[in-house]
Chain A
Amino acid sequence: MVPFNILVLGCLIYVAILFLVAFLVERRAEAARIGWLRSSVIYTLSLSIYCTAWTFYGAVGYAVRSGLEFMTIYLGPTLVFVGWWWILRKLVRIGRIHRVTSIADLISARYGKSNLLGVIVTVLAVVGITPYIALQLQSVTLSFAVFAAETPGWAQADVKWTALWVATGLALFTVLFGTRNLDANEQHHGVVIAIAVEAVVKLVALLAVGVFVVWMVADGPGDIARKIAESPLSEWRPAAGRWAGLIFLSAAAVLTLPRMFQVMVVENAEERHLAVASWAFPLYLFLMSLFVIPIAVVGLEVLPEGTNPDLFVLSLPLALDQGGLAILAFLGGFSSATSMVIVAAIALATMVSNHVVMPLWLSVVARGGKEPGDVRQLLLRARRLSIAGVLALGYAYYRITGGSEALAAIGLIAFLGLAQVLPALLGGIFWRGATRVGAAAGLLVGFALWLYTLFLPSFGPDVVFSARLLAEGPWGIAWLRPWALFGLEGMDPLLHAMFWSLSLNAIAFFGTSVFTFPSPIERVQGAQFVNVFELQTGARSWRQSAVEAEDLLVMAQRILGRDAAQEFFHAEAEAQGKAGLLPDTTPEFIERLERRLAGSVGAATAHAMVGQIVGGAFVSVEDLMAVANETAQIMEYSSQLEAKSEELSRTARQLREANAKLTDLSVQKDAFLSQISHELRTPMTSIRAFSEILRDGAALDEESRLRFSSIIHDEAIRLTRLLDDLLDLSVLEHGQVTLELGTASLRSLIDRAVMSSASSGAGRDFIIDRDVAAEAIMVTTDIGRLTQVFINIVSNARKYCDAPQPRLTIRVRERRGVVRVDFTDNGSGIPRKSQGLIFEKFARLTDTTKAGGAGLGLAICREIMRNLGGNISYVPGQGGASFRVVFPKVPRS
């Protein structure tokens, strides 16, 4: 006998372990040390969320009721995975190239980035999956009740609250680990590992119960065979239609269920993992179903009549006094339910936030004529609320229909609901002629028929549909009866609904597609999806435009976050052979940016947002011809040409840039010569003049002599400082400097810099915004030199920041041993054309008088940072001048 308290305790410990695992993995993922964590084994295990509590507990009940028919649920996915080369490989490739975030996103992206389709699929998924989530909550509650029933002191009323606790806990877990990041193609490492752990637990639990039943209760396989022959299950009368239909249905569902799509396509780390999963996942299913019949047969023999066969897995070990095994079985069922709910909630929340919340919000913003603010925060909040909403909906559904027959049957009903996506999905990836209107028509027809013939009647008579409507049809029209549509009587309701909804869905889809004409962007997308293995570069939908990369950077930062956006822009600029953060806005770059954004907000929204800035999509005639005309040679030839011209344009770009820099430098050099002569002459002139006065004017009083000689002294000091700077720079440039390494906290360095620079630009109210907690980093470097750099930047900000209320923000960040300090002020920043020059010697943007230096400061800073093994750079698009100093925490040998 297992005390209920111990069970609850065990359950809590298990949950705590899952939180811990997810937390540790996220920590590792941040440090980019996740190698083995994204292996093909983990991928296969994460796929096991296909096996929910409905299959963990329900398979045995299903076997008791209909013999071997339970196997159809596993055989369908087996066929799909064994045939991975055909469909799955293509889906995964498309998902990776187009950075698909959900199945709704895939459909929307394929049909011209249409948000309408995204919304339809999202609604379909929410309607179909919410009851499925309710079913999981019910199964956890029921399994708790089995234990509670045997422990006095725990009323069944307490158990009723289990569902609420479970739903709350799951919402918490999912929000914590499912909405940590928007970027990185929507991958959730912590969640994936946690569900992989749960996959192991449920497999081990079911195998343990199976082994116990076969070798402990019975005397091995021979005895089990005898028991099967003697049991009520000895004969199996398969209904031909259901057997074939259910295999097909479960095969369709494994492709279209949002949670399966999430782990199979979105969370896929490497394509080759799919090859392993193609046999390993069917093997997992094989093991999951191996002991179902023995457990069913022994359960029927051992347990008292009237025991719920859906809970044999749990009640069998309990009845035979195997407390530990019962707890294991309980945790297996608990794992099945929770992992399904977590992934389903993430998948649904992604769909809702990307296809409903974002477009709504964008249109509100567009109408108000406002600039979009921080999209990232909004999106994360929307996603968190959606997760809570989905779980609340599931819980409400459970409370309203809880325990009814309707809920138990919901598994297959949900399968059929989501299977309505299949024609649009397969048509989309195999048939170029499929159009947006066709897809919408098919989806709507299928959705409506599914609601009418299966989902709504499943609540039973007089709940949604009156008994009369069910029996006689609406207004007495017999051929509209939900269970006998168009006079097709005597069929199994599920098969009947499957036949009508899927066939009319497919007919509407193909028929409408044939008679409608795809828009240019649909054609381009269609060709890219259907020929995903051949067309790697593909046509583009943006024209070369005059848009400033800085504007795009500002938008990308709002969605991806500063770091990720800057990293992406930097990599793109580097690929174009440019330095800095701003690449040329070529159509290819804009296309890649759009895809990157699509990985966070979905294709339709990303397209709309880029379009707002770039000013309208455009598909050229050549692009369409490239799509229409794709014999192997032409593709081969054009891709070679493209590679060559790409190479040429990159070289040209580099040359242009080098040339521009050289011209600027030569102008600067001339300017410098006159500058330096001026700088040297001014003090020289006054030194000469005053020394002449001192020499000739014997009649000078003591006070004047003192004044004149101190002027001479000051001017001499100014000269020395200028020459010192020049010398310093030349030493740094030639790398002859010896660093004096020391260790100090970054906070003290910044303190010193802020204090030392207080004299420049004095008299102005200057706010310095620091994050002192983040500055508590010990660094080993040349402290004096680094402080010199900081002082230079801070006093520059004090001098040049032209805001009425100047403010300098200092932010420190450490990542993988590299420290990054950002200094951002709120002035008007540095104009684009000057950004490349500020680190050059004698560069000065304003007139000399204001600066009071020779324009060597930033050049010296750059050389110092180079010597310290780091760098200093200007970060555009931060709403003011922004300098970034990067250096290793500990010098690299």
Chain B
Amino acid sequence: MAGVTLRGVKKRYPGGFEAIKGIDLDVPDGDLCVFVGPSGCGKSTLLRIVAGLETASEGTVAIGGRDVGALGPAERDVAMVFQNYALYPHMSVFDNMAYGLRNRGAARPEIEARVAEAAAMLDLSALLARKPRELSGGQRQRVAMGRAIVRKPALFLFDEPLSNLDAKLRARMRVEIRALQRRLGTTAIHVTHDQLEAMTMADTLVVLNAGRVEQVGKPADVYARPANRFVAGFLGSPEMNFLDGEAGPDGRIDFGALGSLSAGAGARAPVSRKVVAGIRPENLAPAEGDGPDRLSLTVDFVEELGAARLVYASREGRRVVVHTAAHGGWAPGAPLALTAAAGDVRLFDPQGGAALG
């Protein structure tokens, strides 16, 4: 059992490219921490630095309070699941899972007991004699998980382990991995570019962008109170609506021809200033009556999702997406009046994108 502590971690490549630009992070013991970010944000590099597969150019990495900077991957007591699983193709499922134990000099009966236990946990008991090429993608994925858990390491490292699975299997494995990690109580770092996977699996969400941490927190908190425009836009699908507007002393945001919305007390400014207002698609709703808080648009088209639908509306080239459960009245070309609660309008600095208020 061990937490992970990163202090001032940087990674510079010989060409001068800085992939990680100074990261401080604490992952508590037993936590499932998800690194999420667009490709090239440095999340995999950071994971590999924790694993010991790459060395940090600066800074320290500690696992369970022990500085592991000078240790190789085998001495760090970590287990890793790779994106393409990296199963040894010539070894049976049993041997794949037993290999790490054997190399560490575990006794034969113990290896058999541990593999049997892990296989039972992952529903692999009937497949132990098979070779990886005789398994389906989901089964290979579970073998890779099994290889990690037989070792009973202090830390699991998952490098996009679900990205090679189809959507249905991915949703199931998400739940399974989550449940497995809870049951074992082992600290885990999970890297993904899929914001849905990140939201659903994480105890702690770490949003990375361009080699920096943008925000750390519980998924629901990060979603509700993004620290900046990047985080706000990255989490959530469809993406948050961003509209340029002007915040006045009364706390109203004026969107010009579109109309205006109230943004609560936090938005009040002594003098008017330009802001970017962010409103999540599910927080927009048709305006009832004729209050002042309304955006007037025209419906462009509707995407049917079954349980809900996405209504795309625009005016003067500014587009808004509404996620709504309500039926009817969404004919393309029809006028549409929308409103949002003051608390659901997030404001961002047009320069730099930091959250305001």
User: Is chain B a partner of chain A in the same complex?
Assistant: no
Interface residues, chain A, CB within 8 Å of chain B?
Answer: none
Interface residues, chain B, CB within 8 Å of chain A?
Answer: none
